[in-house]
Amino acid sequence: MEKISIRPARTTDVQGIKALVAPLVQENILITKDTVTYYENIQEFVVAQDESGDLVGCGALHVMWEDLAEVRTLATSAKARGRGVGRRMLEVLIQRAEGLGVSRVFCLTFEVEFFSAHGFEVMENQESIGPDVFAELLRSHDEGVAEFLDLARVKPNTLGNTRMIRQLHVAG
């Protein structure tokens, strides 16, 4: 099995990330994003690269609040699936979250079994956040925040997806 390395994404990876995500968008597993959005958020991404330099995976961590972040756009190429690439990228993203002091990580996914195996649990109706935080989060234009809050306007995006969350052990 060839060596796969995980590294922070660079702007030159955007086209490769889009290529990884495209088949999953066609299958309605991931939501399409404009190219500019990938560039604006490139610092949130990690990529998995094989020995030949091809991107075989990507994933992002988006901070939503002091104690909350979302794993987004976790994708692997067909040739990399089942080889632990997604797990390794998720571990790196979780380490990033812990390093930032985030204590909860959210995801919206069809891959319930994968995320359950990595400590995520299905969210009950509304994760406990105070009314002040809820009001602040409502001001966000970010679709992921709206999905976390389970707002009606994003219901078409979330149909069939499962909202999951993982508690982290962050040193205070």
What is the C-alpha separation between 23 and 88, in angstroms, rounded? 21
Look up the pTM and report it: 0.84
What percentage of the chain exceeds 70 in pLDDT? 77
Is the Cβ–Cβ distance between 144 and 70 less than 8 Å? yes
Q: Mean pLDDT over residues 129-134, rounded?
A: 65
Mean pLDDT of the chain: 86
List pLDDT tens digits, range 92-110: 999 999 999 999 998 989 8
Q: Mean pLDDT over residues 113-134, rounded?
A: 79
List pLDDT tens digits, range 9-19: 999 999 999 99
Query: Cα–chain-centroid distance for residue 124?
Result: 19
- The residue among 139, 141, 68 whose CA lies nearest residue 104 is 68
Q: In the numeric block, which tokens belong to residue 50? A: 């094989």
Vertex 33 angle, CA 28 and 38, to 5°: 135
List pLDDT tens digits, range 144-167: 666 666 655 555 555 567 888 899
Q: What is the pLDDT of residue 62?
A: 94
List pLDDT tens digits, range 61-77: 999 888 889 999 999 99
Helices (H), the chain: 14-26, 35-40, 85-100, 112-116, 131-138, 143-149, 155-158
Provide the pLDDT confidence category of residue 124 given band limits of 50, 70 and 90.
confident
* Beta-strand relationship, 104-109 and 68-76: parallel
Provide the pLDDT confidence category of residue 127 given band limits of 50, 70 and 90.
low
What is the C-alpha separation between 89 and 87, in angstroms, rounded? 6
| Neighbouring residues of 148: CB distance < 8 A, sequence distance ≥ 6 | 64, 68, 70, 106, 108, 127, 137, 163
Report whether pLDDT(121) > 70: yes
